[in-house]
Structure 1
Amino acid sequence: MPVEIHGLNKCDTCRKARKWLDRHGIAYRFIDYRDEPAAPATLKHWADAVGGFESLVNRSGTTWRKLSPSRKSPGSAAEWNLLIREYPALVRRPVLVLANGTVHLGFSDKLYAGLFAANA
């Protein structure tokens, strides 16, 4: 599996991550999860890899803040999946999935330089 970067086309952080990969000659596939929503099993895998849905979801963004209090306490993976399906912008961006299957959230030059040390 090649490197995949999941995010939103108009997200500045996703653009920075893609530019970093381009600058360092790292091939990747970008997936806008509004156009291609992640399957429930994929979301569960990401959540498991990063410490749970609480870590996968951006609770400081406007999308989260606009949710009603009753929607902010999903009780199961299925409920988290429904919430994310309805509001894809809740997922922290970008989600980077490396060829070995590891999952990383967010972007910083330091993070990517460490992950791609051979190419940095």
Structure 2
Amino acid sequence: MLNVYGIKNCNSMKKAFDLLNELGLAYEFHDYKKQGIDAATVKTWLDQIGADVVLNKKGTTWRKLTETEQDTALASEQGLIDALTTHNSLIKRPVIATPKGFIVGFNEDAIRALKA
């Protein structure tokens, strides 16, 4: 079973759900807008995926942060963990945990490869 993390109403999430359902892949969804996201999970993602992939600097949430908040988030791993758990819309969506690793962002080819 896959674990899918994200926000239910996000367009990338909707595309991912549609594709996962089309392929008949079983998944459990964690809506971190409603359920939150814990620091340990975020740390695992940063360690295994990397901050450059996990942090979505292109979104409006990042642009709405003050320059000081952005600097604090980028100054240390703990600063970034705090920012991502407080402002979870900063996390690129979806994050799909698979038995072989992670898929971050909507990647149709990578999701289709899970069926193979």
The two structures have a TM-score, normalised by structure 2, of 0.90
Question: 5+ unaligned residues in a row in structure 2: which ranges?
Answer: none
- Hey, what does 2:66 align to over in structure 1? 68
SS at structure 2 position matched to 1:92: coil
Cα distance, 1:99 vs structure 2: 3.0
1:3 aligns with 2:2: yes
Q: 8 Å contact 1:50–1:104 — kept in the other structure?
A: no
Looking at structure 2, the residues matched to 99 and 54 of structure 1 have their Cα atoms a distance apart, in angstroms, of 22
Partner deviation per Cα, 1:48-102 (whole Å, 9 max, x = no partner) = 1212x232110011110111111112222221122112211000000000134x1
Identity %: 29
SS at structure 2 position matched to 1:54: helix
Match 2:54 to one of 53, 56, 64: 56
Looking at structure 2, the residues matched to 55 and 20 of structure 1 have their Cα atoms a distance apart, in angstroms, of 22
Question: 5+ unaligned residues in a row in structure 1: which ranges?
Answer: none
Q: 8 Å contact 2:36–2:88 — kept in the other structure?
A: yes
RMSD: 1.4
- Hey, what does 1:25 align to over in structure 2? 24
Looking at structure 2, the residues matched to 47 and 82 of structure 1 have their Cα atoms a distance apart, in angstroms, of 12
Q: Mark the CA change 1:24 to 1:117 in structure 2 (over 3 Å): closer, same or farther.
A: closer
Alignment of structure 1 residues 27-106 onto 2, 5 Å: 27-51=26-50, 53-73=51-71, 74=73, 75-100=75-100, 102-106=101-105
SS at structure 1 position matched to 2:80: helix
The amino acid of 1:94's aligned partner reads P
